[in-house]
Each structure stands twice: as C-alpha cells, then as structure tokens.
Amino acid sequence: MKDLRNSKEHHNYRNELTITGLLLGGMALLYTDIPFHIMIQTFIQHIGSATAAVKQFFVSIFIEPFVQMEFSDFVGILMITISFGLMIVQIRKKMISTSYESHTCPLCDSKLHRIHRNRWQLWLSKALYLSSGYFHCETCDHSSLRFYQKTPHLRQG
Ligand SMILES: [Zn+2]
C-alpha cells in the first residue's frame, strides 16, 4: 500500500516537472530570438541539394551513357539485341519440331504417361511462350519434356 502511494506521488511529481519544463521552455522561446525560419530554410535547402545530387547521380548512370554513346555503339547494341531475339526464335522452333511426336517412348516404344512438370520446366515453357508436357515411361524410366505450339483451346501454359 505504501509502495503504491509512493509511485503515485512520484508520478505526480513527474507531471509537475513536465508542466514546469514546458512553461519555462515556452517562455524562454518567447523571450529569445531563435531564428527558426532560418533553420527551416537551411534545412529545406539541404534537402534540395541532396535530392539534386541524387538526381545527378542517376542521370550520370542511366541517361548520360546513352546520350554520349556513339551512333555506331547504338547500332551495335541494336544488332546484338536482334541476334539474341532471332536466336531465341530459332531455339523455340527447334524445340517444337524435335518434340512433335506421338506419346510413345523413343527408347522402348512403350506408352508414355504425362507427369507433373517442376517449377523450372513451367518457367521455361512460359519463357518460350509454348505449351509443354513432361512425359515418363514406366517401362524404362525414360522421361522427357516436350513443347507444343500454344493453342487457344488448350490453355495449360
Ligand atoms: Zn521407355
């Protein structure tokens, strides 16, 4: 019981201290000329220069190389990009043609069963924009991933 009253008194004491502190602080601020407007102004200026520096940094990394790039460099990058694109198209074509077969095992001619594709196989078929199926032969344990042209009625990804 005594402890409780002690803590309560302590609490009251703290409240009074806060009130006195606020009062004295407010009065001190009224009587002195702390240049708040200048402090805020310099703070805003600092933020402004910081954002300008960040902007300059991003321009120097992402925009300036392209602006200063020679035309031949630009053409070179364009040609490399096109060749990559054509390569992917070529790989895609090859994958379709080699896997366009019936559902029989290429090793033992048994019937193949469709099994679940793993995440990478799904990702690959999505990247190539092709339908795919993962097949397994129960007789010889052979398994193969096959790709098909995407068909509108067969939306399996
Ligand atoms: Zn087989």
Q: Are strands 143-148 and 112-115 parallel, antiparallel or unpaired?
A: unpaired
Give the Å distance between the CA of 156 and the centre of ligand 1.
Answer: 25
pLDDT at 7: 55
More confident residue, 24 or 69: 24
Give the Å distance between the CA of 53 and the centre of ligand 1.
Answer: 65
Give the Å distance between the CA of 1 and the centre of ligand 1.
Answer: 87
95 Cβ contact list (under 8 Å, min separation 6): 128, 130, 147
pLDDT digits (tens, 9 = 90+) for 94-148: 877 655 556 788 889 888 888 999 999 899 888 888 888 888 999 999 888 888 8
In Å, how far from its chain's centre is CA 119? Answer: 19
Give the Å distance between the CA of 105 and the centre of ligand 1.
Answer: 5
pLDDT at 74: 81
More confident residue, 12 or 155: 12
Give the Å distance between the CA of 157 and the centre of ligand 1.
Answer: 26
Give the Å distance between the CA of 143 and the centre of ligand 1.
Answer: 8
Span 10-38, average pLDDT: 81
Strand order in the sheet with 131-137: 112-115, 131-137, 143-148
